[in-house]
Structure 1
Amino acid sequence: MKKLFIITLLLLVQSAYAQQRYYQIGDFQLENGQVLKDCKIGYRTFGKLNAGKSNAVLVPTWFTGTSQQKSFIANPSDIADSTKYFVIIVDALGNGVSSSPSNSVSQKDKLFPVVSIRDMVATQYKLVKEVLKINHLYAVTGISMGGMQSFQWMMSYPDFMDKVIPIIGSPKQSTYDKLYWNLQLNSIERGQYSAEAMKTINALHQLNLWTPSYREAHTNTEEYASYIKKIEDDALKLNAYDWATQLRAMINHDIFQGQKPEEAFAKVKAKVMIVVATQDHMVNPQAAIRFGKLLKAPIVELTGDCGHMATSCEGDKMRAHIKGFLD
């Protein structure tokens, strides 16, 4: 009972420090030479940084996700337990919170430059170093596009953290991934970023988020009309320009940059654990598995029929492995 009271008190205290914050970078030069004007990065922090600044865990957001949506990861029962770690959840460029086509003043919508996963990571590094004054992270971990950013951290700043845990991400997009993400991007562009285009995009997204067997088991054909209506209604809340920005970043994602994986392997300094969903129809797991074997890293395989959503369906299994690795 006493322990429960202490945890509840800690959560109440941390909530006061978990408000949305921003780091105003100013004009930021992207890796392609373009300039992102008045760049800002959104973030939230949970828990307390220890005296040695050795317990910081950075968590990048997933595709279109926000730090608010990702806050659960700092719960005492979750991966980055904020009673142990100082958790930094960062809004990735293009998510509508950090600099994005939807919130830019001078580069709105189509005027917004092309950003990469490496650019996202570079802004996160600046946040940690320049604002939070942390010179070394204990760990970096993220889900989906957050997993892609985690892989990039290994290459961009190999000495900056002790551990990296990419979760259902990929070090490089497969042909299947590129086909799927380009199908979404082309549909948005050909549909002129319209609401009608986003209805199609959201249906495509839901199609690959789960496996066919999961959808067949959980939505009978008599429910289809209400099911597709909800998908299309939800699409009206999506911003096509933000969506396209992060799609382009994922499509071009490749940590190897012309190197062979064996060459990239030599640059990795952190201890690595990789989590994949073997039935993932959204982020193909094979590149992550192959790179994990090169690194001789533990690979946690989520094998159920939830596909890309395996982290929800098999969350207990995943959390047990990751907590053991972190602790």
Structure 2
Amino acid sequence: MHQVLDLGRFALESGADLPEARLAYTTHGVLNAAGDNAVLVPSYYTGTHASAEPWIGSGRALDPAEWFIVSVDLFGNGVSTSPSNAAAEVHGAAFPTVSIGDNVRAQHRLAERLGVRRWRLIAGWSMGALQAYEWAVRYPAFVDAFLPIAGAARCSPHNAVFLAGVEAALRADPVFEGGRYAVPPRAGLRAFGTVYAGWAYSQAFFRDGVYRELGYPDVAALLEDWAADHERWDANDLLAMLRTWQQADPGRGVEGGLAAALGGVRARSIVMPSSTDLYFTVDDNVLESAMMSRSEVRVISSDLGHVAGRPGVRAAETAVIEAAMRELLADR
């Protein structure tokens, strides 16, 4: 069962605000007296606090017997404040743009409320990686280490184009009505999920039939699963998180841009792209890692595409990630 931090009227970087804002989270383990055995796991796109559970448990790198683990929900994911559950003035299509920075500022409030004085590690996959970078830039003295997996510091131009494509598929449904739909735009939601499936995996994943390893008898079954999964989502929630993702850039507004922002990071990082990710690419990760003084790139060799490293998908990738977690947690 998740817990909730009431943030009141939460001011956003855009100048708008969220009335009655709520940040959802779960905790595992016990915070020590120094407040420094804490690990943060931010949620990813269409993920929740529960999505991190495959990484957490006895004998795992994130063992609650040793670490105080906080799994936190993004604004827009349907658990924290989102278009689908927000106060009337920002409900649905009226929901304002929430930045990665807004999420991290709210998470900082949560850390203070919980008594966390330092994050020993921030580990995040995909959009979770975007938040990990933002934490390291915004609160450099608060973060010892971070592990961005199949993610990046910012949304690259090509990544933004991919997101524009899936958004266009959803908005093309006439039922969508600019976000003021009377009934769910199911055709648009299914189109969104279908288009997304082609970006989530690699060419080899489809060519070599790796989808069978994940329980799909054929490509048609995989596409139906992605369509059905996205059909269950609230359309405005999907687009709220998408806007957060698309505008991610910790260098925005910083003199010197991204290089200057990342140059101020004190934390050690192991940056772990997937070798076959189609939109968070190895090349982007290499460029960003070079901007930080205590960073290295370790490529996850995988045929899963972007999905490589998602909690609970494949044991081989999880083992590589957990080895990096243990290394970072042991390094003071």
**TM-score by shorter chain over 0.5:** yes
- Shift of residue 222, structure 1, vs aligned partner: 8.4
* Residue 209 (structure 1) aligned to one of 200, 217, 220: 200
Cα contact 1:63–1:145 (8 A) shared by 2: yes
- Partner secondary structure for residue 257 of structure 1: coil
- Please tell me the root mean square deviation across aligned C-alpha atoms, in Å: 1.9
Relative to structure 2, which stretch is displaced further, 206-215 or 285-294? 285-294
Pair 61,225 (structure 1): closer, same or farther in 2 beyond 3 Å: closer
Residue 120, structure 1, aligned to residue 115, structure 2: no
Aligned residues: 308
Distance 1:89 1:222 in 2: 33
How far did residue 224 of structure 1 move? 4.2
Does the CA contact (< 8 Å) of 1:279 and 1:305 recur in 2? yes
Q: Which secondary structure does the structure 1 equivalent of 2:144 belong to?
A: strand
Choose which of 225, 228, 236 in structure 2 pairs with 1:233.
Answer: 228
- Contact 1:64 1:94 (8 Å CA) reproduced: no
Structure 1 residue 88: deviation in Å? 0.5
CA distance in 1 between partners of 2:31 and 2:166 (Å): 41
Which residue in 2 is equivalent to 1:38? 20
Relative distance call for 1:201 and 1:101 in structure 2 (3 A) is same
Give the match for residue 322 of structure 2: 319
Q: Which moved more, 1:296-305 or 1:81-90?
A: 296-305
Contiguous gaps of at least 5 residues in structure 2: 180-184
1:111: Cα distance to partner? 1.2
Q: Distance in 2 between matches of 1:206 and 1:53?
A: 41
Distance 2:104 2:115 in 1: 16
Q: Is the contact made by 1:72 and 1:78 (CA closer than 8 Å) also made in structure 2?
A: no
Quote the offset at 1:286 in angstroms. 2.5
| Structure-1 residue corresponding to 2:47 | 65
Aligned 1:7-46 pairs, distance under 5 A? 19-46=1-28
Counterpart for residue 294 of structure 1: 291
* 8 Å CA contact retained: 1:210, 1:309: yes
Does the Cα contact within 8 Å between 1:276 and 1:300 map onto a contact in 2?
Answer: yes
Whole-angstrom distance in 2 between the partners of 1:246 and 1:79? 29
* 1:276/1:289 contact within 8 Å kept: no
Q: Secondary structure at the match of 2:164?
A: helix
- Scaled by the length of structure 2, the TM-score of the pair is 0.87
Change (3 A) 1:77 1:217: farther
TM-score where L is the length of structure 1: 0.88
The question of whether the paired residues in 2 share the 8 Å contact of 1:41 and 1:91 is answered with yes
Please tell me whether the aligned partners of residues 11 and 17 of structure 2 are also in contact (alpha carbons under 8 angstroms): yes
Moved over 4 A (4+): 219-222
